[in-house]
Structure 1
């Protein structure tokens, strides 16, 4: 049987974020050095455990092996979409009406049925309210001898209010050998006189940069627009577009929205799990996907996290927080003190607010 002093020492070596326990303080220090725990991680509203993603938080609350105490409370007072804990059942009912966006989906489908072709791409020289945010989605047709080469056949851009800024069919630079009609709804006649890829590329590039040279684009204080989407690297590649990574918000690679094994979740799953409605049930419309990614982005951006002067582990001011030469000093700290100086290893979208 472990002595009381041994038990006390083990508790002292317990991580204040994820609750892992270590035999020695030096092991806890090494854990904090590589874990990048921070206020930006999804956190259980009951036991305050930090999780690396919302999927791991969901497993903690309602998974196959949840923490039983948290599961019992969550089953009564928890929102299954944003995983928040409310203080009463009535508060939960009011919250879920706002949190579940399926009631907005009927209007979305009606708007999709009359989408038409739009081109409202205009530059804006104003700096008044921070970077504008737009969402982009494409539908791919097939090229090559077996039709497996992705070619952009349709593209859509929307603003923060889900208004269509740009929507057009795209004429690929090489022949289409598979229109993939069952999923894209695209026919050969739609692309016969469609806008050429080069023109689409130029229009979108100019709109995103908003009058700024590519080399001058910066995340804050500039005119360039934040670009939201799911699998954006593939879209940009097919559109032959270049855009700075610091201005891209991709729901496929955003750590809190990824699987516990750090693989991407599908947009269909994310929309059903975090917004409460289904997409991609038949012919897939890029406008529908733009709206889903914009709503996911807004949900992630609206999280209220504690304000930090230097929130990223990569910020120069944080480079010595867990330096090896501080080992003796760190081992004298409590777990809570080490958590206080720990910083995130990814850019939390709440910082866009």
Structure 2
């Protein structure tokens, strides 16, 4: 086999998404069967390489052990360090970054106002029908060593960052560590606080929005989309169940996770992708709500190709890479295989 034929064959066995090279076409088919590449993955605006997360893309462009030099050089001139988009010129980038970087100045003012006491607009917002809300809690310690997390403060905001609900929460057990340095919570805040069972009932009724829990569906449901970071823990401490199909957790969303598929902290995500710092000194749940809502809105606003059946789990896609089609798939070129490949996670752009 001459070298020219070998190079053509090698090119044919190159993944059209991540550019991995395979010796045989059957290996590329197996890769496509398990990689779930799709247009919903973060993508380099220069070489069009697909990455599994924005952290992988950041490593490709900026800080990885082996960033692609050509992409890195262009990114240094025209790339936004927050959303990782490539702009037309360095001047365009400066203007774009001014809009892309958020500020927490207003957030701090509003959170201090919220800290003064209960803010309850759940009934008013039930009438308005807002469909996306963010929730965050702050925990105090219980148990003999103060290590048992107990919710002592909860905040809910709408997608415009308005406070819907804020209250201190009376834990079900005695508090043995108020964790004042990070929570700012003192015994007097919890003396007449709302009991956790009452908070749970109020929040559940608001989130379900008049719909039975078992009836909640991903589309066409009256129930509200709930945004947050590490929501499993927050909901557990509130003793509150809520269907995962309407939860948007920035700690579990694949594009926002580490290259190792572990969760990033909300503090890191806010600094890296929104451009400001949170959780310095005494922490406020309102700041966490705002950060998660901004991250959610940024992910939701991505312009991806519209597809009738965007998930690999959709019945219409389950046969795309079936073993029974192995020979047919091996006759396809890499671009054709990418065309039929679908995502294995729900992209938040589908909420828009």
Matches within 5 A, 1:287-302: 287-302=286-301
Aligned partners of 1:273, 1:349: CA distance in 2, in Å? 19
Summarize deviations over 1:309-337 as a string: whole Å, max 9, x none: 10000000000000000000000000000
2:13 and 2:268 map into 1 onto residues whose CA distance is: 38
Any gaps of 5 or more consecutive residues in structure 2? none
> CA offsets per residue over residues 93-130 of structure 1, 9 Å max, x none?
1111110003xx11211222211320111263677xxx
Q: Is the 8 A contact 1:125 1:223 kept in 2?
A: no
Match of 1:124 among 98, 118, 126: 126
1:100 alignment partner in structure 2? 101
d(CA) in 2 for partners of 1:192, 1:320: 60
CA–CA separation in structure 2 for the residues paired with 1:153 and 1:109: 20
Deviations 1:174-208 (CA, angstroms, capped at 9, x unpaired): 11110000000000111011000000000000000
Aligned-partner SS, 1:85 = coil
User: Matches of 1:346 and 1:106 in 2, distance apart?
Assistant: 34
The answer for unaligned runs of 5 or more in structure 1 is: none
The whole-number CA distance in structure 2 between the counterparts of 1:211 and 1:125 is 11
The Cα shift of 1:2 comes to 7.0
| Secondary structure of residue in 2 paired with 1:101 | coil
Query: Take 2:128 and 2:46, find their aligned partners in 1: how far apart are those partners?
Result: 43
After TM superposition, the runs of 4+ consecutive aligned structure 1 residues lying more than 4 A away are: none
**1:41 maps to what in 2?**
41
Q: Secondary structure at the match of 1:234?
A: helix
Partner of 2:93, secondary structure, is helix
Confirm or deny: 8 A CA contact 1:125 1:210 kept in the other structure.
no
C-alpha separation in 2, matches of 1:308 and 1:39: 10
Which residue of the partner structure matches residue 76 of structure 1?
77
Structure 2 Cα separation of the partners of residues 5 and 65 of structure 1: 30
After superposition, give the CA deviation of every residue in 1:122-168 in whole Å (9 maximum; x if it has no partner).
Answer: 263677xxx71000000000001110000000000000000000000
The whole-number CA distance in structure 2 between the counterparts of 1:300 and 1:322 is 28
Q: How does 1:160-239 map to 2 (within 5 A)?
A: 160-239=159-238
Normalised to the residue count of structure 2, the TM-score between the two structures is 0.97
| Aligned pairs, number | 348
| Residue matched to 1:326 | 325
Deviation at 1:221, TM superposition (A): 1.2
* Aligned-residue offset at 1:28: 0.1
Query: What pairs with 1:134-153 in structure 2 (closer than 5 Å)?
Result: 134-153=133-152
1:9-20 residue pairs with structure 2 within 5 A? 9-20=9-20
SS at match of 2:122: coil
Distance in 1 (alpha carbons) for counterparts of 2:306 and 2:89: 28
1:85 matched residue in structure 2: 86
Deviations 1:67-103 (A, max 9, x none): 000000000000000000001122111111110003x
Q: Deviations over 1:265-309 (max 9, x none)?
A: 000000000000000011000000000000000000000000011
Query: RMSD of the TM alignment (CA)?
Result: 1.2
What TM-score comes out, normalization by structure 1 length?
0.97
What secondary structure, in the 3-state scheme, does the structure 2 residue paired with 1:46 have?
coil
